[in-house]
Amino acid sequence: MHNTGRVTSTLTATARRIVFGETVDADIDAELGPISEVDMAHCVALAERGLIPADRVRALLAHITALRSCDFAPLRGREAPRGLFMLYESHLSDTIGAEAGGSLHTGRSRNDLKVAVLSLRLRERLRQLTGETLRLQAILLSRALRYGGVVMPVYTHYQPAVPVTYGHYLLGIATALDRDLTALSQAAAGLGTSPLGACGVGGTDLPLDTERVAHLLGFDATAPNSIDAVASRDTALRALFAATSLSLTTSRLATDLQLWSTQEFGLLWFPDDQVGISSIMPQKRNVFLLEHIKAKPAVVSAAAQTLVMAAKGTPFTNSIEVGTEGVSGLWTGLTATLDAVVLSRLLVGAGEPVTGRMAQWARDGWTTATAMANRLVRDGVPFRQAHHRIGDLVRAAGTDGPPPTSPSPTDVVEQTEYGGGPGPKSLDRQYESLRTAWTRHAASHLDWGERLRARRTELAEAVAALIETGTHPGGQP
């Protein structure tokens, strides 16, 4: 059906290919699940308000349910001259009749529907990303506990700096991830408002029960302003910013792990199932997965920048530049971040510290020099003079390394209890704080999932009751 009343033909084939793509199957997999979920909630609310007759509601809900159960098979492989949604709506009208099919869009626009679908999809993606980040942090905490006493040098400017432990380093990454988890949670909180009812941009004069629709779909509230509801994509932008920060954390982790696993450093060892070989050089063991992790921020930050530039200077209303082109990189960016988190978890879990090599570099790299200067400070020497004297000692020793009378890296680590250092008591405090925070994040994540499952159950029961009897569970027609 190409004649819509005001427009009597469809786009040209070339324009259609650019705007809607070659095939609808990929879009079906991504979008028709949430679209049809919105449709079911919308139909329930329309029926409960008596805005469309019960027989139309039954027909719509029965066929939408059937389409979902067969994974939308009747729509696959078909052309979509006016886009996936119109193909879907036309199929409903062709199958159950124009009166029933044509009633689905009562009190709704593609504008508020599109934002709702974006929110539902983004909500699930953020839930997945949060879950995997929690798993990565759990591995970091577990390995930190195991290797809290493995002394190694920490590097600044790629030079040995001071002695820490491998567990202390892993807790540093876990600390950064705690903030990333908070950012993901804050981004997800912005998805709690339903745009449905805003329609094209100005709301509707039909007495829609927008609170009921929002509840059934797992939203916490309805949009207070119809223009903002369809104009804004800041929730997507916040999700991309949070994901960008997360991908940067994993990228910096991967940079260290790759450097430390080189033959020259030799501080970490990765098993064969985490490395690749060279096609020509037989001796090579390349931890190439780390390079994939390092590259992911480029993908997700590009998606964020695309949305920023697409939105810049656009009118504050429904906009193709923002709502379609601007978010075009959203899913690719979030997938890149998810992949980085999963790969990081695998590599952190598999990497083993080479303890002898770590101890050697902590000793030979003069990582105790600062502690030696601090000992002079305790004897009353001004720090700048102590710094100079120890510097002279290091220069005079040359390649001989620290004298036998100097403190060992292990001794220094055990005494470094202040400023978040690697000392045993400090490490215990850090670990317990992060474990408490992890438990809080995990509980919130589980509660979020349980609430969404409960809402979906409520929606399924309301749909089943309307299909069977034409009434919702409360018994009203």
Q: How far is CA 266 from CA 151, 269, 270, 387, 422, in A?
A: 14, 7, 11, 30, 22
DSSP assignment letter at 52: S
Are residues 132 and 272 both part of a single domain? yes
Are residues 314 and 339 both part of a single domain? yes
**Looking at 377, 406, 424, which one is the last position of a domain?**
424
Q: What angle do CA 117, 123, 129 make, to 5 degrees?
A: 140
Contacts of 430 (CB under 8 A, 6+ apart): 168, 171, 175, 420
Q: In one letter, which amino acid is 434? A: L
Q: Is residue 67 part of a domain?
A: yes
The rounded percent of the chain whose pLDDT value lies above 70 is: 93
How would you classify the pairing of strands 193-194 and 352-353?
unpaired
Q: How far is CA 360 from CA 159, 234, 405, 409, in A?
A: 14, 50, 17, 10
Average pLDDT of span 275-299: 93
Are residues 52 and 79 both part of a single domain? yes
Q: Is residue 215 part of a domain?
A: no
Question: What number of other Cβ atoms are within 10 A of residue 425's Cβ?
Answer: 11
Are residues 173 and 135 both part of a single domain? yes
The pLDDT tens digits for 240-249 are 999 999 999 9
Q: Is residue 215 annotated as a catalytic residue, yes or no?
A: no
Q: Is residue 323 part of a domain?
A: yes
Q: Is residue 157 annotated as a catalytic residue, yes or no?
A: yes
Q: Where on the phi/psi map is residue 159: left (φ > 0), alpha (ψ -120 to 50), or beta?
A: beta
Q: What does the alpha-carbon distance between residue 476 and residue 466 come to, in Å, rounded to a whole number?
A: 10
Q: Is residue 369 part of a domain?
A: yes
Phi (first) and psi of residue 162, to 5 degrees: -140, 160
CATH number at residue 383: 1.10.40
pLDDT classification of 398: cutoffs 50, 70, 90: confident
Residue 268 · residue 255 · CB < 8 Å: no
Residue 238 · residue 247 · CB < 8 Å: no
Query: What tokens does 352 get?
Result: 């083993």
Are residues 306 and 432 both part of a single domain? yes
Are residues 63 and 131 both part of a single domain? no
Q: Is residue 178 part of a domain?
A: yes
Average pLDDT of span 337-363: 97
Q: What is the pLDDT of residue 377?
A: 97
pLDDT classification of 475: cutoffs 50, 70, 90: very low
Are residues 245 and 132 both part of a single domain? yes
Q: Name the more confident of 241 and 3.
A: 241
pLDDT classification of 145: cutoffs 50, 70, 90: very high
Q: What does the alpha-carbon distance between residue 46 and residue 208 come to, in Å, rounded to a whole number?
A: 7
Q: What is the pLDDT of residue 176?
A: 98
Q: What is the pLDDT of residue 23?
A: 55
Q: Which of 2, 105, 119, 157 is catalytic?
A: 157
Are residues 304 and 394 both part of a single domain? no
Residue 103 · residue 51 · CB < 8 Å: no
**Looking at 106, 127, 156, which one is the last position of a domain?**
106
The pLDDT tens digits for 75-131 are 998 877 678 888 999 999 999 999 999 999 999 999 999 999 999 999 999 999 999
pLDDT classification of 181: cutoffs 50, 70, 90: very high
Q: What is the pLDDT of residue 473?
A: 44
Query: What tokens does 226 get?
Result: 């119809």
CATH number at residue 126: 1.20.200.10
Residue 147 · residue 427 · CB < 8 Å: no
Q: Is residue 477 part of a domain?
A: no
Q: Which of 278, 292, 328, 433 is catalytic?
A: 278
pLDDT at residue 24 above 70? no
Q: What does the alpha-carbon distance between residue 88 and residue 305 come to, in Å, rounded to a whole number?
A: 32
Contacts of 29 (CB under 8 A, 6+ apart): none
pLDDT classification of 12: cutoffs 50, 70, 90: low
Q: In one letter, which amino acid is 349? A: G
pLDDT classification of 469: cutoffs 50, 70, 90: confident
The pLDDT tens digits for 258-271 are 999 999 999 999 99
Residue 163 · residue 151 · CB < 8 Å: yes
Average pLDDT of span 316-325: 96
**Looking at 106, 125, 154, which one is the last position of a domain?**
106
Question: Total domain count for the chain?
Answer: 3
Q: What does the alpha-carbon distance between residue 427 and residue 165 come to, in Å, rounded to a whole number?
A: 10
Are residues 295 and 439 both part of a single domain? yes
Q: What does the alpha-carbon distance between residue 167 and residue 185 come to, in Å, rounded to a whole number?
A: 27
Q: What does the alpha-carbon distance between residue 226 and residue 137 come to, in Å, rounded to a whole number?
A: 40
Q: Is residue 73 part of a domain?
A: yes
Q: What does the alpha-carbon distance between residue 107 and residue 207 come to, in Å, rounded to a whole number?
A: 9
Are residues 133 and 65 both part of a single domain? no
Are residues 259 and 376 both part of a single domain? no
Q: What is the pLDDT of residue 474?
A: 43
DSSP assignment letter at 85: H
Q: Is residue 47 part of a domain?
A: yes
Are residues 53 and 188 both part of a single domain? no
Residue of 194, 218, 220 lying closest to 208 (CA atoms): 194
Return mean pLDDT, the chain: 93
**Parent domain of 410:** 364-424
